[in-house]
Amino acid sequence: MNKIITEITPLSSKDCFYLIDRYKDSFDYPLHRHEEYELNFIENCDGARRIVGDSMEELGRYDLALVGGGLEHMWDQYNCEGGRIREVTIQFSPDLLGESLLAKNQMKSLELMFERCRSGIAFEMPAIMRIYSRIDEITRIQSGFYRVLKLLEILYELSLEECCHTLASTSFANVKVSSDSRRVHKVEEYINNNYSKEIRLQTLSNLAGMTPAAFSRFFKLRTGRTISDYIIDMRLGYASRLLADSTMSIVEICYECGFNNVSNFNRIFKRKKGCSPKVFRENYRKNKVIV
């Protein structure tokens, strides 16, 4: 069975980070994962596709993404005609700053970004334009010490950005999200443990000690999503993981992940992921290699 490449990066225990600035004509590195965090900037990538976990997005001229350790990712040629593609890749250890430093008040935004990037983060055009000159500058700095300072500056500025979005679903990336609300956390834990079964609004509202209507408003306010959207996204994440990693049929995956019929599963999957479950599986597996 095809598996994901586990990349052994050139980063050693004595290095703060690894940087490579290169020009190329095409994207040819297959789907892979590694323990290091990766900040990847690409220029002239019109029509290429970024795959991070169960997220597949076609790109414009620029792309900037931060991917946490262990998450599958690649940049695919897709509709890109090639040419002078510039790619700046920075890889660094998850413990670059250390837990004690990240726990300081001044580092809170960085701590939150590193937690979030375990599902991958894509920065949108306004953010890319604000950080572009700093990325270009770090490739030209000769001193290792000042390069480290510039990387910290880049990461800090990105941690303050609002023009970004999360990529992989938490259930696909196997990321446990800790809510600051005890009621929301209790409900999220219940959904995560029972996503394959029928989940009733009344059951969830009882867990929160609220009426169904009040709970629905409360959940949307605290999470930014309706309870139905949250459940669907959770189920789709688990379904995507099974499509990528298992030999189960699409029908089996549909019912395993709590959907009540295959046509409904196909319709929701295509609406949310941009392709059918069958195409998603084909796209994912064609980019794997045997190891």
What would the mean pLDDT of 211-219 be, rounded to a whole number? 94
Is residue 255's pLDDT more than 90?
Answer: yes
Whether residue 134 sits in one domain with residue 103: yes
40: pLDDT strictly greater than 70: yes
276 and 202 in a single domain? The answer is yes
Judged against a pLDDT cut of 90, whether residue 10 lies above it is answered with no
- How would residue 3 be classed by pLDDT, with cut points 50, 70 and 90? low
Averaged over 194-200, what is the pLDDT? 94
Backbone angles phi, psi at 64, to 5 degrees: -140, 120
Torsion of CA 157, 59, 40, 50, to 10 degrees: 130
Specify the DSSP class assigned to residue 22: E
Last residue of a domain, one of 168, 192, 220: 168
Span 171-175, mean pLDDT? Answer: 86
Q: Is the pLDDT of residue 224 over 90?
A: no
Q: Are residues 183 and 223 in the same domain?
A: yes
Select from 138, 168, 198 the last residue of a domain. Answer: 168
Tokens of 259: 């959907």
pTM of the model: 0.85
Of 32, 35, 77, 24, the closest CA to residue 52 belongs to 32
Look up the domain containing 212 and give its range. Answer: 178-286
Q: Over 70: is that where the pLDDT of 6 sits?
A: yes
- CATH of residue 66's domain is 2.60.120.10
- Asked whether residue 291 is domain-assigned, the answer is no
Q: Do residues 115 and 134 lie in contact, with contact meaning Cβ atoms separated by under 8 Å?
A: no
Decide: 199 and 231 in contact? Cβ < 8 Å: yes
**Rounded percentage of the chain residues whose pLDDT exceeds 90:** 75
87 SS3 class: strand
pLDDT: which is higher, 1 or 195: 195
pLDDT over 50 at 291, yes or no: no
Same domain for 20 and 124?
A: yes
3-state helix, strand, coil in the chain (%, to 5): 45, 20, 35
Q: Is residue 290 very low, low, confident or very high in pLDDT (cuts 50, 70, 90)? A: very low
Check whether residue 156 and residue 60 sit in a common domain.
yes
Radius of gyration of the chain (CA): 20
Q: Is residue 173 part of a domain?
A: no
CATH number of the domain enclosing 223: 1.10.10.60
**pLDDT classification of 168: cutoffs 50, 70, 90:** very high
Q: What is the mean pLDDT of residues 242-264?
A: 95
Residues 184 and 142 in one domain: no
Label residue 51 by pLDDT band (50, 70, 90): very high
- Mean pLDDT value across the chain: 91
Beta strands at 32-33 and 5-6: parallel, antiparallel or unpaired: parallel
**80-97 residue pLDDT tens:** 987 899 999 999 998 898
User: What pLDDT, on the 0 to 100 scale, is given for residue 1?
Assistant: 39
* Domain-terminating residue out of 168, 199, 229: 168
Q: What number of H helices and E strands is found in the chain?
A: 12, 11
Residue with more model confidence, 10 or 278:
278
* Domain shared by 164 and 182, yes or no: no
Same domain, 41 and 122: yes
Mean pLDDT of the region 46-64: 95
For residue 191, give every residue at least 6 positions away whose Cβ sits within 8 Å of its Cβ, in sequence order, or none: 199, 204, 230, 231, 234
What's the pLDDT tens digit per position in 96-148? Answer: 988 899 889 999 999 999 999 999 999 999 999 999 999 999 999 988 899 99
Both 9 and 133 in one domain: the answer is yes
According to the model, what pLDDT value does residue 283 have?
A: 85
Least confident of 30-39, 67-76, 168-177, 219-228: 168-177
pLDDT at 45: 96
Q: How many domains does the chain have?
A: 2
